[in-house]
């Protein structure tokens, strides 16, 4: 039976997942409540603060991968964890004072921190995994994110069950801030340097040559010359737009206790979605890596398109005046349909972007390249979220916002299928100088290419 080692790749991935759960997970719990946990009329300022957050995140994403290769994941996690408690504190301040400057400034700071934290997490899930378990490594982190978001939602739900006011009590903000601060201690004492990580067979992950900052920036620029990444820009942009739409509808249509139960179930179904898509992407019954990816894209498309069509129909039957939101309770008839859609989009939130990340991380096993890809993926994703928050902050009719997000996700699905079919290769082992394959993988290329030939798939022909 394998012994517990702090420098085991899976242990480090779990610890990264815990950090993500303690920070972004709790952030997601309060975001899913809608309006940052404030009253319904706070929705617009919270969406504006989040637009600033994700705009900064988008810019930082072009450089955060290079930050990791120079300073390592521990320092990146430490800096990245700082922004979350400050941001939640700013929402608490705004709810009590109505002053807008703090949540906007905190949103900008969190944009810097969040990208660093998420890039560090993606770097670990991409580069510490093998080709055969990468889907599971990515899903583990999302599982912890959703688990902690669910726990946060349970706390909020319990405190809001009999609430007569239309905002989250102060106790919720205080508990969330204290939980978020604990992520700093996990990063400081338990994250080890990549060069010290060892697989179960004793092999290191890779050689880690030192690069100066200028060389890193040049390497980052080369990513834009990769046609595969250019095609994947729209899927990256579309990855997380659904949560923005659902959180805004939650705050505009429902009272605080109903928002709490919607938030809880949204997060629980993220856990289910993470487990499900991780199994699909690493399913050994489908011998070809490319076939696993293509089947997973098809499943994501089925669930996502069903959700968007259902949401369009629900909005048609439940029009709303922004100046006089209905604030339905779970005892009202419109709740049932929205509840089902909320579950579907909880799954959409994770299965869409996990599949996007799996496709992009399949391009290489080189840790430095994966670090840059991690930063780019998270940065471009943030650009898409910033655009979605911008449409909400502008006060556009919800049917127009849904039309935009539906379109961008649908186009993204087509491009994901194309890149998976044309560009996902049987393996990258033994093709990259700095990567050390696991033991027993010397003949892996011949084995997987034989399996792909047996599956009847055509050979890859990626430009």
239-285 pLDDT tens trace: 988 888 888 888 888 887 888 888 888 888 988 999 999 999 999 88
Tell me: pLDDT of 175 over 80: yes
Q: Which residues contact 300 (CB under 8 A, 6 or more apart)?
A: 277, 348, 351, 352, 355, 413, 416
CA distance 412 to 224: 18
pLDDT at 321: 75
Q: What is the mean pLDDT of residues 195-221?
A: 81
Q: What is the mean pLDDT of residues 1-11?
A: 84
Identify the pLDDT of residue 69: 87
Look at residue 454 and tell me whether its pLDDT is greater than 50.
Answer: no
Greater confidence (157 vs 184) lies with 184
> What whole-number distance in Å separates Cα of residue 255 and Cα of residue 420?
43
The predicted model gives 327-353 an average pLDDT of 92
Residue 178 and residue 156: Cα distance in Å, rounded? Answer: 15
Of the listed ranges 86-90, 163-167, 173-177, 192-196, the one predicted with least confidence? 163-167
pLDDT for position 313:
94
Band of the pLDDT at 208, cuts 50, 70, 90? Answer: confident
Q: Which of 155-169, 293-307, 384-398 has the lowest mean pLDDT?
A: 155-169
Tokens of 96: 């009590």
Q: What span, in angstroms and rounded, lies between the C-alpha atoms of 54 and 63?
A: 15
Does residue 147 surpass a pLDDT of 50?
A: yes
The confidence band for 455, taking pLDDT boundaries of 50, 70 and 90, is very low
Range name among 205-209, 342-346, 433-437, 447-451 with the lowest pLDDT average? 447-451
The pLDDT of 109-117, averaged and rounded, is: 94
Question: Do 224 and 304 contact (CB within 8 A), yes or no?
Answer: no
In 10 A of CB 156, how many CB atoms?
Answer: 30
Residue 1: predicted pLDDT: 52
Instruction: Measure the CA–CA gap between 353 and 125, rounded to whole angstroms.
Output: 14
Give the pLDDT of residue 162.
62
- pLDDT tens digits, 45-101: 777 787 788 889 888 888 888 888 888 999 999 999 999 999 988 888 887 787 888
* Integer Cα distance of 168 and 338 in angstroms: 21
Mean predicted lDDT score pLDDT of the chain: 85
| Per-residue pLDDT band at 35 (split at 50, 70, 90) | very low
Distance separating alpha carbons of residues 154 and 377, to the nearest angstrom:
31
What is the structure's pLDDT at 136? 95
pLDDT band at 302 (very low <50, low <70, confident <90, very high): very high
Average pLDDT over residues 200-220: 79
pLDDT at 176 over 90: no
CA atoms within a 13 Å half-sphere pointing along the CA-CB vector of 275: 8
Query: Span 365-390, mean pLDDT?
Result: 87
């Amino acid at each position: 039976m394998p012994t517990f080692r702090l420098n085991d790749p899976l242990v480090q991935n779990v610890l990264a997942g815990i950090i993500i759960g303690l920070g972004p997970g709790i952030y997601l719990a309060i975001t899913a409540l809608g309006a940052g946990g404030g009253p319904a009329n706070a929705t617009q300022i919270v969406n504006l603060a989040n637009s600033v957050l994700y705009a900064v995140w988008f810019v930082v994403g072009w450089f955060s991968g290079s930050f990791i290769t120079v300073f390592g994941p521990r320092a990146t996690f430490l800096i990245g964890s700082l922004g979350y408690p400050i941001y939640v504190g700013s929402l608490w301040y705004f709810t009590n004072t109505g002053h807008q400057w703090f949540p906007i400034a905190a949103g900008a700071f969190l944009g810097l921190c969040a990208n660093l934290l998420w890039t560090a997490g993606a770097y670990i899930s991409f580069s510490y995994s093998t080709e055969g378990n990468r889907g599971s490594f990515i899903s583990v982190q999302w599982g912890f994110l959703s688990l902690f978001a669910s726990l946060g939602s349970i706390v909020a739900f319990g405190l809001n069950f009999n609430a007569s006011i239309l905002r989250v009590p102060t106790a919720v903000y205080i508990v969330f801030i204290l939980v978020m601060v604990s992520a700093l201690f996990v990063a400081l004492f338990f994250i080890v340097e990549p060069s010290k990580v060892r697989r179960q067979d004793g092999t290191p992950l890779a050689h880690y040559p030192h690069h100066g900052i200028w060389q890193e920036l040049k390497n980052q620029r080369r990513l834009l010359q990769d046609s595969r990444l250019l095609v994947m820009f729209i899927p990256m942009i579309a990855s997380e737009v659904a949560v923005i739409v659902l959180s805004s509808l939650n705050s505009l249509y429902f009272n605080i206790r109903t928002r709490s139960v919607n938030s809880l179930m949204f997060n629980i179904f993220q856990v289910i979605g993470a487990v499900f898509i991780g199994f699909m992407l690493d399913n050994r019954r489908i011998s070809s890596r490319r076939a696993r990816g293509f089947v997973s894209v098809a499943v994501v498309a089925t669930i996502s398109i069903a959700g968007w069509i259902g949401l369009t129909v629900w909005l048609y039957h439940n029009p709303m005046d922004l100046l006089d939101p209905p604030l339905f309770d779970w005892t009202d008839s419109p709740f049932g349909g929205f509840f089902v859609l909320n579950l579907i989009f909880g799954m959409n939130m994770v299965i869409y972007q996990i599949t996007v990340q799996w496709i992009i991380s399949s391009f290489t096993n080189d840790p430095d390249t994966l670090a840059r890809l991690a930063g780019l993926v998270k940065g471009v994703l943030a650009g898409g979220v910033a655009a979605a928050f911008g449409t909400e902050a502008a006060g556009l009719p919800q049917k127009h916002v849904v039309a935009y997000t539906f379109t961008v996700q649908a186009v993204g699905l087509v491009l994901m299928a194309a890149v998976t079919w044309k560009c996902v290769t049987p393996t990258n082992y033994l093709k990259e100088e700095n990567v050390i394959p696991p033991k027993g993988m010397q003949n892996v290329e011949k084995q997987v290419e034989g399996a792909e030939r047996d599956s009847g798939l055509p050979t890859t022909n990626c430009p």
